[in-house]
Amino acid sequence: MRSLVRWVLPVLVFFALVGPAAAARGVEIGINYNWWKFGLTSLHECRVEKQPRSAGSWILPAYQRPAVRATVREQLRAMRGAGFTAMRIIVFYGHSSEADASAFTSMTGNVSSGDTDKLRAFVGDIAAAGFRSLEVVPDFGAENWLYCRHRRWGDCFDTARTDENWRFIAQITQTAMAAAGAVPVRVDIANEAAPDPRMPARTLAHAKTYLQTIAGRFDARFGPRWVISAARSAASPATETQDRIDLLVADLAAAHITPTYLELHDYSLDGNDMKMSLDTMQAIAERIGAHVILGELAYHSAVQASAISGWIERHPASRIVELAQWPEYDPTRVCAVDPTPPYTPGALGRII
């Protein structure tokens, strides 16, 4: 999520490349939408360090405020009108008894009535704006995170919090499904948690047990509308996609679980690298009968768009069902701020 590899180019270039090929095959074009505005935290630090210091205002924790909800509704209508058809939202969880400006908090995983109302209202507004699909992402921090790290990945994950995480996932899912009405809801039950075989053996064992448990419970209660996304690391080898997805599928298969969706987050600007990732996703998806989602792509990257569009053209049996961008600042500008919504897919809105 929010890879270090970033690039921003004019929006019409991106969708001139991706739009026609994607639309012709019924691929949904989505956006990750979690903040309703952005600002710069420290202009001085930014100028000194040559790095942006963006501060976003989260949507969900503030959704009880009429002014926030009114702004979000306008942004949703604008984004749908511009051509986006899919939405991806993150619901952060904090193991705390204190309120948080970026997360829903609890000591047990139970979602408060107030936070339930916020999520219900937000999802209802997404549906009312006319989006055709929604991915909800319960996301965990600190010791609730599978790969919580002090020195090595996963060395501080508290396995006793598995049930706590499950309660949060189940309650968020139940609320979102009820609020979405006829809009299909998919849930990323372990955001960017596909394991890497290079992780410590103890971490891989915990990950296998955790992912089997959460996926098994979700499948039994809500059906196959779940995914466990995989993230490509910055400057990672081209083999990382296959390493992670193969291990994830094998770990789930050991519990007789087969995912209906495979999701990759990839910000690589190397066209050949992207093609290798897509070849891998397609081959594994064909083997298990799954659909492919590119859930986080660099915002308005002409390089990525060209690689993806060319790949789709060469694969008429492509299993890709959704492409979603993660909007970020222009790295060529000093003190750039992450773009404030509404976001635009450009020409794609006139094609679908």
E-assigned strand segments in 185-309: 185-188, 226-227, 230-231, 261-266, 291-298
Contact 21, 312 (CB under 8 A): yes
Q: Is residue 291 in some structural domain?
A: yes
Contact 284, 251 (CB under 8 A): no
Higher pLDDT, 272 or 76: 76
Q: Is residue 4 in some structural domain?
A: no
Contact 154, 148 (CB under 8 A): yes
Query: Which residues form the domain of 260?
Result: 11-350
Q: What does the block give as tokens for 262?
A: 């495979």
309: exposed, middle or buried (C-beta count within 10 Å: 0-12, 13-18, 19+)? buried
Q: What's the domain count of the chain?
A: 1
Residues 6+ apart with CB under 8 A from 161: 95, 143, 144
The pLDDT value given to residue 216: 98
Is the pLDDT score of 349 beyond 80?
no
Q: Is residue 207 in some structural domain?
A: yes
Q: Is residue 16 in some structural domain?
A: yes
Is the pLDDT score of 351 beyond 50?
no
Q: Is residue 52 in some structural domain?
A: yes
Look up the CATH number of the domain holding residue 28: 3.20.20.80
pLDDT tens-digit map of 198-242: 999 999 999 999 999 999 999 999 999 999 999 997 778 889 999
Q: Is residue 6 in some structural domain?
A: no
| Cα distances (Å, whole numbers) of residue 188 to 41, 169, 193, 211 | 30, 9, 10, 12
What's the mean pLDDT in 68-92? 96
The pLDDT value given to residue 25: 54
Q: Is residue 240 in some structural domain?
A: yes
pLDDT tens-digit map of 265-317: 998 888 899 999 999 999 999 999 999 999 999 888 878 888 888 899 899 99
The pLDDT value given to residue 43: 67
Higher pLDDT, 44 or 79: 79
